[in-house]
Amino acid sequence: MNADRRIWALAVLPLLALLAGCGKEDLRCYVGGTMRPAIEELAQVFEKETGKHIDIDYADSGGLLIKIDQSRKGDLYVCHDPFAGALELKRLHRRIWTVAALMPSIAVAKGNPKKIQGLRDLGREGLRIGLTDPNYSTLGHICPVMFKKTGVADAIAGNVVTRSRMGGQIANAVIIGNLDAGIVWNAVIHARKEKLDLVPIEPPYRPDPKVDAVTSATFGQIDMSMVKVTIATLACSKRLEDATAFAELVNSRRGRAVFAKHGFTDSPVPPPPDDPTPAPQPNTKATEATGPVYLYCCPGIRLAAAEVIDAFTAETGISITPDYAGSGVLLSRIKASRQGDLYAPGDERYLDRAAELNLIGKRWSICYFVPVIMVKKGNPKGIQTLADLTKPGLRLALGNPDACAVGKATVQIFEKNKIAVEDYRKNLVFPSLTVNELGVQVKTGHCDAAIVWDAIAAQYADSTDVVAIPKEQNIISHVTIALLKSATQAKAAERFAAFLCSEKSQAILQEHHYTTQLAAE
């Protein structure tokens, strides 16, 4: 009997060991190829300090996002824009940190044998240029925007001999002499610095944060001027505590220093205020010793905000980094990242929700958004009332109520006037994540009408008309800015918020047709 027991004990020992190891598998981190060298170095640091190994699965950021969505397995995702936006919209994340940024740059062979000095030089006759494929690459979408600004876009396009899926392939083709130059991320060139030189793209040709942004249902609002590198903990993670610990290491000053060492541009979002590790040396000279103020801003005030930002920076020397997106999308980013200094949504109710989540402190009033019906010049469809928007055959553009303030206000206006959802939704052909795109849809004739803010409609006055919504039928949104509790630049942020309320800024808002004061009852 004792012998049987010993045999049984020996038999179950391996099973017990296996069971004891359940749940102890390596952390799985999906990493976009450009970020691989930095993450591999930080993973080694993490394992040395904690004893926990990280299994890195690297490929292009888009392919990895598909894998995460389909498998619902893994713990972390490191990518560059716009893929974190898609992760947010699909609700596949727990929290997101912005840890670095990428800059489009020209890769040339060591010594720059073709003497390429800037973007316009890529149009010189006889050059062989390589670009990334826009079907797979963020940079593939940015390049045409930059080329258009040079005035020699056709000449550059004529020199393009290949388009590859990844920037590394372009860089390698330059190294072996198959290409004279290629446009890739700065970090891609840095990884091959022994064989490549970097030619910077001149600021006038880079994407402009005031203008060069696109929105899609898949990725949300994408600001081409600042391609951010992010790390996210995944909703499917079974080891969230360990995953968060690694993400916080990557986001720390120590982690950011590793990204800087590998040729990345500094993150526009300041590091955590309680991070004791030494700060990395910035890649470019800062305009203010305190660093930039990070502003989450609704796109409805984009043009005026850009002008106010320029005036504030000229007066104080403090730079502002704006992040434009729909108010709901921005709130999701703030909740996920717990980073940034100021939040200016398109309606105060978003701030009320942020206050419930203990995300904000002091508030300042900026202006008011008055909803109007925007139609083609001459009002060919004869739209006079809200009820007319339910007419058969009308093509309607409306904001998404889950993503932007104008969408939420639109739903409330229809409810207030007892117009059923099914009556107007049958005409909806373009749901938008931002108010700005609604105006474009009417201007280009893709839609017959849209509900937008009065100031947005004024921007398209040359090709559209406005049908006012009676005051008793309307719902006016109060635009307010708040200091985030995550602010690392609180004093500078408060100075900017106060500047927004100054006579100078209010005059700028009025010039852009924003309502700064409501008429007395």
Question: What are 121-142's pLDDT values in tens digits?
Answer: 999 999 999 999 888 788 888 8
The model carries a pTM of 0.60
* CATH T-level topology, domain 371-473: D-Maltodextrin-Binding Protein; domain 2 (3.40.190)
104-200 domain in CATH 3.40.50.2000? Answer: no
Question: What are 439-479's pLDDT values in tens digits?
Answer: 888 988 889 999 998 888 988 888 999 999 998 999 988 88
Give the separation between CA 138 and CA 119, rounded to whole angstroms: 18
User: Is residue 264 predicted with pLDDT exceeding 90?
Assistant: yes
Of 447, 481, 484, 478, the residue nearest 464 (C-alpha): 447
* CATH T-level topology, domain 27-99+226-266: D-Maltodextrin-Binding Protein; domain 2 (3.40.190)
Give the separation between CA 221 and CA 223, rounded to whole angstroms: 7
Tell me the pLDDT band of 206, cut-offs 50, 70 and 90: confident
> Are 104-200 and 371-473 in the same CATH fold?
yes
293-367+478-509: CATH, from 3.40.50.620, 3.40.470.10, 3.40.50.2000, 3.40.190.10: 3.40.190.10
Give the separation between CA 322 and CA 209, rounded to whole angstroms: 8
User: Which of 118-122, 348-352, 473-477 has the highest mean predicted lDDT (pLDDT)?
Assistant: 118-122
Q: Are 107 and 143 in contact (CB under 8 A)?
A: no
SS3 content of the chain, % helix, strand, coil (to 5): 40, 25, 35
3-class secondary structure per residue, 480-498: EEEEECCCCCHHHHHHHHH
Give the separation between CA 161 and CA 174, rounded to whole angstroms: 12
Domain boundaries, the chain: 27-99+226-266, 104-200, 293-367+478-509, 371-473
Give the separation between CA 351 and CA 45, rounded to whole angstroms: 39
User: Is residue 241 predicted with pLDDT exceeding 50?
Assistant: yes
Length in residues, the chain: 521
User: Is residue 393 predicted with pLDDT exceeding 80?
Assistant: yes
- Please calculate the CA angle 376-378-384 and round it to the nearest 5 degrees: 80
User: Is residue 170 predicted with pLDDT exceeding 50?
Assistant: yes
Distances (CA, A) of 107 to 182, 416, 477: 5, 58, 48
